[in-house]
A and B are shown apart, each in its own frame.
Chain A
Amino acid sequence: MKSPQNTIFTLGQETDVASLFELLRRTYPAHDASETQLERHYLDSFDWRLYRNNRVCGWDMPGGNGRKKGAGVFFIRDRSTHDSICEYPASRIPRFSKDITHRACRRLLDEILGIRALMTVATIAVKSRHFNILNREKKTVAVLRAENHTLTGRVDPIFLTGRLIVSPIRGYRKIFTQVRQYIAEQLQLPVAQVSLLDELLTAMGRVPDPGIPVYAGKFDSSLNTREAVRILLRHLFQVMQANEPGLRDAIDTEFLHDYRVAVRRTRSLLSQIRDIFPAQQLEYFKHELFWLGQVSGPMRDLDVYLLKFDAYRQALPEAMQKHIVPFHAFLERHWKIEHARLCRAFDSKRYQKLIKEWRVLLDNDNASAQRAGSQPAVSPETANAGKPVRQIAGSRILKLYRRILREGEAITPESHDGDLHELRKTCKKFRYLIEFFHGFYPENNVRNLLKILKQLQDMLGDFQDLCVQTAQLCGFAEQMQQEGSADAKTIMAMGVLVEKLNARKAVVRTELEHRFQTFAQPDNKAAFMNTFSLHNQPESRTVR
Chain B
Amino acid sequence: MIIACYNIKGGVGKTAATVNLAYLAAYEGARTLVWDLDPQGAASFYFRIKPKVKKGGKGLLTNKKTLNDVIKGTDYQYLDLVPADFSYRHLDLQLDDFKNPDMQIRKLLKPLKTEYDYIFLDCPPGVSLISENILNAADRVIVPTIPTTLSLRTLDQICDFCDKIGVARSKILAFFSMADNRKKLHKQMIENPPVNVRLLKTCIPYASDIELMGIHRQPVAVFAKNSKAGQAYQMLWNEIMSL
Contacts and interface: CB of A to CB of B under 8 A. Distances in A.
Contact of A172 (B27, B31, B72): B72
B173 interface: no
Given A84-B77, A104-B117, A139-B49, A170 B29 contact: no
A102 interface: yes
How many residues of A sit at the interface, in one of the four size bands? 20 to 34
Contacts of A1: 31, 33, 78, 80, 115-116
Given A1-B31, A1-B116, A139-B49, A170 B75 contact: no
Interface centre among B28, B29, B75, B78 (most CB of A within 10 A): B29
B50 A137 contact: yes
A88 interface: yes
Interface residues of B, number: 22
B136 to A, nearest CB: 24
Interface centre among B28, B73, B78, B116 (most CB of A within 10 A): B73
B47 interface: yes
Contacts of A322: none
B199 to A, nearest CB: 27
Contacts of A103: 30, 117
Interface string A1-25: 1101000000000000000000000
A172 B71 CA distance: 10
A34 to B, nearest CB: 16
Contacts of A102: 28-30
Contacts of A86: 29
Contact of B115 (A2, A84, A132): A2
Contacts of B31: 1, 104
Interface string B25-48: 001111101000000000000011
A138 B48 contact: yes
Interface in A64-86: 84, 86
Contacts of B115: 1-2
A469 B140 CA distance: 44
Contacts of B80: 1, 170
A298 interface: no
B71 A170 contact: yes
Given A1-B116, A170-B71, A170-B73, A137 B49 contact: yes
A88 B28 contact: yes
Contacts of B47: 139
Interface string A84-121: 10111100000000000011110000000000000000
Contacts of B28: 88-89, 102
A75 B48 CA distance: 27
A277 B82 CA distance: 74
A490 B28 CA distance: 38
A89 B50 contact: no
A104 B70 CA distance: 24
A87 B71 CA distance: 20
A140 B217 CA distance: 12
Contacts of A170: 71-73, 80
Nearest to A31: B75
